[in-house]
Amino acid sequence: MRFLIVDHARKRMVKRGASEEEVKKVLEEGQEVGARGGRKAKEAVFLFNRDWRGKSYPQKKVRAVFVEEAGEVVVITVYVYYCSWEGAR
């Protein structure tokens, strides 16, 4: 799958703690979830077991919001949630 991560999404990845590898895995294997404005979104839960901003979290959920243009997936933004969920990889 060909994908492009726009600058806005890259900045959000850094700020929110997601790697490019995680975003790629979300796009390839993640579960589809709802998105607004004609966009699509997928998310996946990853084992984390580290501290983030002074608190310890067992897992994190990475959600990529994207559009499909000319055979390419264009990632618009990335959200990251820290907590504990069932089904972590």
Q: Minimum mean pLDDT among 1-5, 14-18, 27-31: which range? A: 1-5
Q: State mean pLDDT over 7-25.
A: 97
Q: Given this model, what pLDDT does residue 1 score?
A: 73
pTM: 0.90
The pLDDT of residue 87: 55
What pLDDT shows up at residue 84? 77
> Which strands sit side by side in the sheet containing 72-83, from one edge to the other?
3-5, 72-83, 55-69, 40-52, 31-33
